[in-house]
Structure 1
């Protein structure tokens, strides 16, 4: 029993992991579309080297001192806005190391191990990032940039007072993207709120779609059931009418059944006629009698109409009732008569 329970638990965990992987993959595909627009609107906080912070926003006429924004009573810190933090190059140290290309997948571990040699801070007090600069001759050149965690914490606190949260940290000047991010997602994953909103919206749409699909299936099944019942009732009534006609008890039944046959139904005849006559033919008058049909109108090729009508409709003896007259506009004036087939009781 324990073994079966373990297998069930493992199966459930595997299914949960698969669903989560599909969910994350979907967001990874959709999120960059919104991320590109978000980055263009994302404000940038610049530190000038003396500890002063200035806020640069897209479309703003001037940079706003961050202290001035923090003093604004309308700023709400409950939901911080994402921003980039650009610190002064004087507050970072950079170094370059070389590693064998085969060991490049262990770059982060190697850098962490050498931080006390590469920076003036203890490893636990340093924030660092790195990027591959060159990769040739089986040697990988890596550029490392680091700064003080305490310095960044102070700047981050001041940004929070102004309603901002850093999602990227670097030394790049305005107008250029950050090449090495010192946060690397440690304080906050960029676009986390956006990813959460996309995920919840996708789930809501999926639930609504599923409910709509089940509802449409239920209505479709119900409609088919009602149609089947109606057809069965019609068949019973038809058989009863046929029986009455055969016994001669009701002459009206013969007429009713005759008018319900497709070839005798006027609406069926009109529908077929509309689908048969060419688009260049216009009818001015249409007379439908019990035994005869009369069409009056004009066409660009009236001579072909009798053959077209007789070939496609349940009509016989289709012919011109009068001579075809060519009008000044080049169209032929015609009058056509046709006989409707005799209809009797349905067999």
Structure 2
């Protein structure tokens, strides 16, 4: 009698199977069979289909709570269209996108009016080198929309579609849309991450420009005030400089008024760059040169012509010139 001793792998498989038998029934995979609800030709559920749904589970959850069984809709025969397709081996990894672009050409429906899926068939095509076979399943939405609305009223969301007399399951959803959105979102996120520093830099630059514009306006106001103040302060200084260079007519008039005797009257007075010319009448005309030089600080005083008598013989007519003080 020959005894066969099982190997380590066989012992391990036997031990796993024994442990699986000890698990609660709610955790075994064979307990999660899908609930199949038949759908009529008009898209509504068969009468009494809702009774097949499991009772709502208790709100209290635990590790031993069973997951809800998936719910599938069973459409009448012919409601799901099936078609065999071939694609080049290079396009096989992107079969969903490739077939999705030509879905309106491959089927008599628009993409937004159907639910579809594509799966590899695993068939070999020896006569077509580099070709891969796929199976396209398409179901019009009108064939099950009424059933979906009826189940939505009971808070039930089906996960897939089946068809009488056909193998395979059609998941509810549009794979082409799901596959297209993810790369675009990744690209947008990548662009946003790349552009974020530049956007912050541009915002900072705009803020600085705004602050500089405000400071520029204030600077212009300050410069205008400075020019006004400079004009107020520089005007008198310029006048004083000109008076010092050319002499002050007001100061000459004041000096002459205080220095000339009371009997002296001026008929003409010319003043130009410190040089004064006087014409008038005086009872003491011969004394005017001494008075101007000693009392009024004039210099180079002299008569421009002879002294003559007035018509009434009371005054002397004179014409003299001198340099004003300062």
Instruction: Please say whether Structure 1 and Structure 2 have the same fold, judged by a TM-score greater than 0.5.
Output: no
Superposition TM-score tier, normalisation by shorter sequence: 0.3 to 0.5
Larger radius of gyration: 2
Structure 2 length as normaliser, TM-score? 0.35
Structure 1 length as normaliser, TM-score? 0.33
